[in-house]
Structure 1
C-alpha cells in the first residue's frame, strides 16, 4: 500500500514539473539577446548623433541636451548586471522614454524596435519619468518669489498688453484608457476618459505651475479651487507682490497682481475672467478681447507641449498613477527645452494641426466677490484709456 502511495506521489510530482517546465518563460528572449547586433539603440540612434536635424526630429531634442539630462538622472536608471542577463544602459532607457513621449508608440512597438522585453520598455518609461520628476522638478519649477512675479508681469505687459499679470491659467484633458473599477470618475464632458493637467503659463509659454492627475469629470474651476495653487493664492502664501499702479496710469490707484483664465474659473481679485454674455457694452467687449489675448498664451503652451510630445494626442494605456508621471515629465521637459527664439515655430505647427483652441465664447456662472468685480471694472476702464489702449483693439471688437 505504501509503494502505491509513493508511486502516485511520484507521478503527480512529475506531471507538475512537466507543466511548470512548459509554462516557464525565457529570462531573455533569443531575439532580444541580439540587440547589440540589430537593436535600434546600437545602430539607428548611434547614426542619428551624426545628423543634428534628424536627431532633433527623432528625439525632440539634440544630443547635448540628452547628455545633460542623463547626467542628472542616470544614477536612478542604473541597475546591476546579473549572471542571467545584462542590465539595460541608462542612456538606452532614456532613449526609449523620449521616443515614447515623442510619438506615443505602444510599448510593444518600441520593444520590437529596440529588441527589449515589453515589460522592460514599460519599466524603463516609468522609471525614467519618475527620475525626471524627482531630479528636475525643482530646477524647472522653482518656488516663486516677488522678483519672479514682477518679471513675469513685466513681460506680459510688454508682449501681450495685459498689466500686473501673473500668468495665464487653464486645464487640459489628457486621454487615458478607462481604468479598471473607476466608474465615471475619469469620464469627462468630451465622452472620453481622462486626467486633468492644470497649468499656469508665463508670457514665454513656460509653465510656472502644473498639477496633474485630477479626475476627468472635475471642472477646471473645481480643480483650481482644490489645487495647491488655488489654496496658496487664497491664503496669500506665494510671495505675490503688493498692489501696484497700472503702467503709465495712477488714476485707478494700486491694483492687485492677477492671473487670467476663461469662464470656467472663478472671479477673484487674483484671477480675472471675462464678462459673461454676448450682448455687453463695447468697453466690456474690449476687456474680454484683451483678456482673451493674454489667456491664449496658455493655450499656445499646451499646443507646443503636445506638438513636441505626441503621446499627449494618444489614449495613454497605463495606470492613472503612471499617466500622471508621464504627463508631469513631459511638462518638465517642455520647460527645459522651451526657447523663446523657437516658440513661434512650435506655435505655428500646433495651429496647423488645430491644437491651439479659439477663445471661449460661452461665458456664464461663477459669481465673484465685490472686490473682484471692482478690479475687473478698473481694468476695463484702463483698457479704454489713453495709457492702456492698443492701436488695433478697435478693429478686433
Structure 2
C-alpha cells in the first residue's frame, strides 16, 4: 500500500486534473447556429440587405464608382460568368447566388479591401469570401479570355494589330507594345527573398503586350519579382514562339519606296533586349537628332502599354497594396483584371476610360498631356535593366531610324524633341 506521502501526491494530482477538466469545459464554445445573426440576415432580407442593391436601383448615386462598371455592363458580365459560379441549394441551407458572388468579387478588385472589411458590406463571411473571390476571378478569366484576351496566332490577326499602330501612332510594322508590371504581394511563408524585388518589396511580375487601343493581347503572370522584365520575357511563351518562328508573324514588308524589307517588331523600353523583332530606344546619353526622333516615335507607340497598366491599376485598386494571398490565387486575380480591362475598354469605354483618362498629344505645341491615371501614384514600379544591343536588332533599328527621318517622317516630330522642323 502507498505510504502517506504517496497518497498525498495522488490526491494532489487528482485535484489538479479535476481543475484542468473543469477549466476546459468552461472554455469550450458550443456552436448553436451556422453563422452569426448579422450574416444570416443576408438570406432573410435578400439581396436588398447590401449597399449594392441600393446603388443598383439608383445607379446615379455611385454604382460605377462602387463596381467600376455601369449596371448594363455588370449584367452582361453576370450572364457570361453565371454558369461557372452558380451553386446548388441544399436541404441544410441556401447557396450564395451568382449575383452576390460577382458583386463581392468586383468590389474586392475595385477597392483592394480585406476579406474582413468586405464581409460587412456583402454580409458574406470572410471564410466564404476566401473561397468565392478566387473562384469567381478564375471564372471571369475563363469566360472572357477567348473573346477579350486572345493572342493573335495568324499573320492576318497580327496584321490587324499592325494596322492599328500605323493608323493611330504612325509606327508601321508594329505588332504590340511590351512592358512588365510588378504586382505587390505578401511574401509566402518560408519564401525568403525569392519574391523580393529591387523596389524593396515582394512581387510577382505581369508581363503584357498591348495593341494600339491599350488592350492587352497577351499576359504572362507568376514569375517571381527578383527576375527583371527582360528575364521574364526570355521565359514567356510568346518569346519562345518568336524564337522558333511559330507564332505566325507576317513576312517582312517593304515600307514606301525603301529597297530593304522591314521586319514586324514589338516596341519596348530599356529593360528588354534589342533583337530583330524587339525595338527599344537609343541610350539617353548623347543622342543626336536622328536618334532622338526614332526614340520619340518609338515611345509614342509604346505609351499604349503604359496607359493600359495605369488605367488597370487606377480602376482596380487591388493593385495598390500587397495582396495577402498565395501566388497561385493572385495569378487568377490579375488575369481577371486584365480580362475585365479589355471587356470594359472595348464594349463600355465611355464609363471605363472617359475623356482625359489616357495620355494625349497636343500636336500644335508638341506637348504630351498626361492622362488622369497618372495623378495617382502606381504601386509598385517596374524594374529597368539595360541590356547590351544585339547586332541584328541594331541594324533593324537603323532601318527604322532612317525611315522616320525620311519618307516616314511626321510633321510634328521635331516639336517633341525640342527642335524646329
| TM-score, scaled relative to structure 2 | 0.84
Bigger drift between 278-287 and 340-349 goes to 340-349
Query: CA RMSD of the aligned region, Å?
Result: 2.9
Q: Which residue of 2 aligns with 1:190?
A: 199
Alignment partner of 1:108 is 2:119: no
Structure 1 residues 286 and 327, CA, compared in 2 at 3 Å: closer, same or farther?
Answer: same
Alignment partner of 1:90 is 2:98: yes
Render the CA deviation track for 1:230-271: whole Å, top value 9, x for unaligned. Answer: 11111112211111122xx23142211100000110111111
Bigger drift between 198-207 and 312-321 goes to 312-321
Bigger drift between 344-353 and 107-116 goes to 344-353
Report if aligned partners of 2:180, 2:382 keep a CA contact under 8 Å in 1: no
Q: Which residue of 2 aligns with 1:6?
A: none
Alignment partner of 1:58 is 2:66: yes
Structure 1 residues 244 and 52, CA, compared in 2 at 3 Å: closer, same or farther?
Answer: farther
Report if aligned partners of 2:47, 2:100 keep a CA contact under 8 Å in 1: no
Q: Which residue of 2 aligns with 1:77?
A: 85
Q: Which residue of 2 aligns with 1:375?
A: 396
Structure 1 residues 252 and 16, CA, compared in 2 at 3 Å: closer, same or farther?
Answer: farther
Report if aligned partners of 1:350, 1:356 keep a CA contact under 8 Å in 2: no
In structure 2, C-alpha distance between the alignment counterparts of 1:125 and 1:179, rounded to whole Å: 19
User: 1:18: how far off?
Assistant: 4.2
User: 1:178: how far off?
Assistant: 1.5
- Aligned to 1:190, the other structure's residue is in SS state coil
Count of aligned pairs between the two proteins:
384
Structure 1 residues 101 and 357, CA, compared in 2 at 3 Å: closer, same or farther?
Answer: closer
Q: Which residue of 2 aligns with 1:67?
A: 75
User: 1:381: how far off?
Assistant: 0.4
In structure 1, C-alpha distance between the alignment counterparts of 2:195 and 2:104, rounded to whole Å: 28
Structure 1 residues 208 and 344, CA, compared in 2 at 3 Å: closer, same or farther?
Answer: farther
User: 1:363: how far off?
Assistant: 7.8
User: 1:148: how far off?
Assistant: 2.0
Bigger drift between 275-284 and 372-381 goes to 275-284
User: 1:166: how far off?
Assistant: 0.4
- Aligned to 2:205, the other structure's residue is in SS state strand
Structure 1 residues 194 and 28, CA, compared in 2 at 3 Å: closer, same or farther?
Answer: same
Q: Which residue of 2 aligns with 1:237?
A: 246
Q: Which runs of 5+ in 2 are unaligned?
A: 1-17, 359-370
User: 1:130: how far off?
Assistant: 1.1
